[in-house]
Structure 1
């Protein structure tokens, strides 16, 4: 699109939004639409969004809109009372000419930019523009930015951050600073990330900038007995999860505790590299790549220790899930999240980020001391209750109430180049 044509389109949209603002009814939260990249997949964001949607559906009309659908069936059980629709069906591959071209509306360094195309650009812009009220919630920068650009003034717009601001690419951060101020609210998971957003959005901030952590999903399975010689790690097999570091640490653990086993649950692009590392370090049989955890509660119930080896996180749910079933946690003190959940020596062990020998020592310490495992687990159970939906749900209702009390947004559609 040429610059002149783009400016003409933007002016027309701005004038239309001004008319919409004058005619807009009072904001309301009866209808809530949550935009999610891939509701059919496997991942922590999907699980926590499903958990939140189920809670909101008790009082609101809730729909999850999946940008794409690449699998015929859901990996996670859909939340009760929530409709799930999709915009681009890719079960049999990407179809149509527009799917051959990359998105023009998604920052190229957004972590999921390769998922977005011209087809999804048009589908999302059309869907967002059609909303005439209610609430639109985005769940990653690409979606939050689109909502900020195209939502009408009568729509309550909320951008969720499921990672943390510094983890995003430079261009993505620039667009966040430029456009998130047009949202009604931005919700971070941690206090640390809230401070990052307060600084980044100092010039133009949304009406509400809050920290609301994810709630712990209720898990199947009993409370762990913590007697089996099993350590578990759960998460996608990606560089950010630090499993390469964990395998190197386990080589030291194995020398002292050869009867213990490390089970890594997840799937992802690094499977073959991790398996090769396991074999190279002669850990086959004591380090196992288990595939996706279809029942996280059952997996944790069989464990005595949970490990988080991530290089960075948003707010790691595996820590809270482990705590909720009485499994003590060892975690790298990575940005962000672990240090806001774990008090070292009280409800878990914090290890300096990336330090392999320190991780091995902490795991070995818990293996050798069952009483410490019990102490950390009992305190972890108390911590997990602070993140129950009975505590987190009211924070969302409070935010929605505050957003609905505001007048309709007066700004027009933002220029794609602004």
Structure 2
């Protein structure tokens, strides 16, 4: 039997309705079911909190009632004379020290074998200031190496996760890329399947489904461009875009500009995955960037074939092309449209792919993934 441990999971926030937050609550619950004592710690509150329930099997703490000021650094001599900015940064640093001291107090409640999991690099900035002596510290990135490499997060990841006991990403391909970049402690840990379908899609509904935050990296604009090529030839089919986000108004406007108002639906965000996914026959992932897309994992579990841009190793880890879905070169909306049409025109192919998808996701059964975590805890403690 695995040793029971104190596991502290630190993230930016655990309150939003997002993939990272779903993972935090799911893995926290799975650890608790194994007998571990789990504490979820958010740096800040979410702007829009989702109700994850009140009877949680783990403790929760939020360090800041109000989000701290964004980090600022002077770029030249004139900036150094910006007294208000300097004062804000002094207050920010003082606030970080107080929050890190509180984090240290929480960590000290843990017993031997305690583990800290910093699920995001911003959260790791506070973990790095806290007292973690005698604890195993694991850093994580939930996006692909390529996505991080092209962002400001790259140098921060290399700085803040450089001294952790293990730095986990979601696929071995990404772990190898980080190792080549100098992160010698890089390893892979997949997300566990977190849905348990009571029913699956009949694959008879003439609906293509997309779940995701409406933002540039999620590529709903690319999906609409592809749909504009498909919709005129398939008047009975609809594209259903679940979600909300900063680009929602622009995406709705684009649907109108492309003449798609009658074939595109915007039901808003939902946590009723079963209704959303069983109400469709094809899942579309049009993202520009991903890590290990939870939405594909969910769609496969409900028996939907997926058409996805090859935007991350996680897509290739989940989908076997021409077996349980179709993978398209990033940004190729013409090919994406053709792939949608291939499935729309062939109910037998949808059923074949859907059955293969359901079988494939058993690789990520919760007990299998938690076993991997517990083996890692034991290995790192030695």
TM range (shorter): 0.7 to 0.9
Deviations 1:127-175 (A, max 9, x none): 3433335211111111234424544321211111111233235553223
Deviates more, 1:352-361 or 1:188-197: 188-197
Deviates more, 1:135-144 or 1:266-275: 135-144
- Residues 228, 303 of structure 1: 8 Å contact kept: yes
Report whether the alignment pairs 1:135 with 2:110.
no
- Residues 330, 351 of structure 1: 8 Å contact kept: yes
Residues matched between the structures, number: 356
1:225 matched residue in structure 2:
202
Going from structure 1 to structure 2, the CA distance change for 1:137 and 1:307 (only over 3 Å counts) comes to same
Higher relative contact order (CA 8 A, sep 6+): 1
- Residues 324, 381 of structure 1: 8 Å contact kept: yes
- The answer for unaligned runs of 5 or more in structure 1 is 1-27, 106-115, 406-418
Report whether the alignment pairs 1:261 with 2:241.
no
1:173 matched residue in structure 2:
154
Query: Following the alignment from structure 1 to structure 2, what is the Cα–Cα distance between the partners of residues 78 and 235?
Result: 25
Query: Following the alignment from structure 1 to structure 2, what is the Cα–Cα distance between the partners of residues 152 and 76?
Result: 28
- Residues 64, 99 of structure 2: 8 Å contact kept: no
Deviations 1:342-398 (A, max 9, x none): 111101111111101101000011000000001101110111111110211100111
Q: Secondary structure at the match of 1:334?
A: coil
Deviations 1:15-41 (A, max 9, x none): xxxxxxxxxxxxx86211111212121
Report whether the alignment pairs 1:102 with 2:70.
yes
Query: Following the alignment from structure 1 to structure 2, what is the Cα–Cα distance between the partners of residues 117 and 37?
Result: 16
Query: Following the alignment from structure 1 to structure 2, what is the Cα–Cα distance between the partners of residues 123 and 86?
Result: 13
TM-score, length of structure 2 as denominator length: 0.87
Going from structure 1 to structure 2, the CA distance change for 1:285 and 1:76 (only over 3 Å counts) comes to farther
Query: Following the alignment from structure 1 to structure 2, what is the Cα–Cα distance between the partners of residues 170 and 359?
Result: 26
Query: Following the alignment from structure 1 to structure 2, what is the Cα–Cα distance between the partners of residues 371 and 291?
Result: 31
- The answer for unaligned runs of 5 or more in structure 2 is 74-90
Q: CA RMSD, aligned part only?
A: 2.3
In the TM superposition, 1:1-400 aligns within 5 A as: 30-58=5-33, 59-70=35-46, 74-77=50-53, 80-90=56-66, 99=68, 101-103=69-71, 118=93, 121-130=96-105, 131-132=107-108, 134-168=114-148, 171-202=152-183, 205-206=184-185, 209-219=186-196, 221-400=198-377
Query: Following the alignment from structure 1 to structure 2, what is the Cα–Cα distance between the partners of residues 211 and 340?
Result: 12
Deviations 1:98-126 (A, max 9, x none): x4x42369xxxxxxxxxx95576234422
Going from structure 1 to structure 2, the CA distance change for 1:145 and 1:85 (only over 3 Å counts) comes to closer
Going from structure 1 to structure 2, the CA distance change for 1:70 and 1:335 (only over 3 Å counts) comes to closer
- Residues 16, 48 of structure 2: 8 Å contact kept: no
Q: Secondary structure at the match of 1:102?
A: coil
- Residues 347, 377 of structure 1: 8 Å contact kept: yes
Deviations 1:161-218 (A, max 9, x none): 111233235553223324423111111101221112111225xx34xx3211001112
Going from structure 1 to structure 2, the CA distance change for 1:225 and 1:50 (only over 3 Å counts) comes to same
Query: Following the alignment from structure 2 to structure 1, what is the Cα–Cα distance between the partners of residues 155 and 279?
Result: 45
